[in-house]
Structure 1
Amino acid sequence: MTTNKPLNAAPLLWGHGKNVFDVFLEPTCPYSVRAFNKFDALLAEVGEDNMTLKIHLQSQPWHMYSGLIVRYILAASTLPEGKEAAKAVLKAVGDHREEFEFTDHCTGPNLDATPNDIINRLEQYSGINAREAFARPDLQNVIKWHSKYSRQNGIHVSPTFMVNGLVQADIGSGDEISSWAKRIQS
């Protein structure tokens, strides 16, 4: 597919406060899913006027379909629904992890799944058709930006958390939302 129209990906950010909570996620990682599922409640507790939540996607090779899924999520972010379309795909992956992950990262029924099977599942579970944007070669620039941003900040695993530009190695996905809120507001 060839198009001259520039591809614009919506930043995956919510809220508009001065305190910035960056989160680096791999969509099929169970710990990333646990963190992702707390974000709406965190924004409600801290307040969108008091914080900005930024999601960065951190593809990891031991999650075998990670690159494909990250590409689809970022393709969704280029749709008119932007970040909300991307969020819907992230939620669908989290809600149906076993449909996108290998058993023990190397075995199981997904060995027989093709990339098109995974794309079909992403669309079916999320209701988001991002196939056209997924097929655009220039989408790789958005993917590379996420990867470069992670590397520049020394991020190698997910989930990883930053508060106001500083990595917080002691914050984890299992922490209470109130604990995150205190860290963001301090």
Structure 2
Amino acid sequence: MATQDDADLRLTRIASSIRVIPDFPKPGIKFQDITTLLLQPKVFRDTIDLFVARYKDKGISVVAGVEARGFIFGPPIALAIGAKFVPMRKPNKLPGKVISEEYSLEYGTDRMEMHVGAVEPGEKALVIDDLIATGGTLCAAMNLLEKVGAAVVECACVIELPELNGRKRLGDKPLFVLVKAA
């Protein structure tokens, strides 16, 4: 069993492995690049292990990963806790029948889609993404899951950008993050 000190060391390694790229994709943005975390197998394993430890005994049957970086963290978590992985995609990326949810961004609107029948009423779901900024994509993912009768247990992200107040937008839905952006 990991001690608190072990968890703190893992979180320190995770935080220090994320590269910050100023003015990307536009001036004033500090892009949180998780690809540098993925290049370090021990740190990537630490990230997955911390999520798995939190969710392994919560009865979660669905891990919903938000496109695109939620697809990196979601599948290994789902496999480890014995849940299915459901991709939450941008428009026109999923074949077959989908349901969708429109959400607002700082600069307009977007839409998220999920396959019809991927999630059943009464299932317990975890929503995973790499980062929470304004909270729009996480809210859209939760709304899609709730539309089909799933119960969202929690949203989980590797990084939080607290200055953008995304946590407030989630309302009473729990949010778990590993590190806050510097």
TM-score range, shorter chain: under 0.3
Which structure exhibits the higher relative contact order, with contacts defined as CA atoms closer than 8 Å and separated by 6 or more residues? 1
TM-score (norm 1): 0.27
Structure with greater strand share of residues: 2
Q: Higher helix fraction: Structure 1 or Structure 2?
A: 1
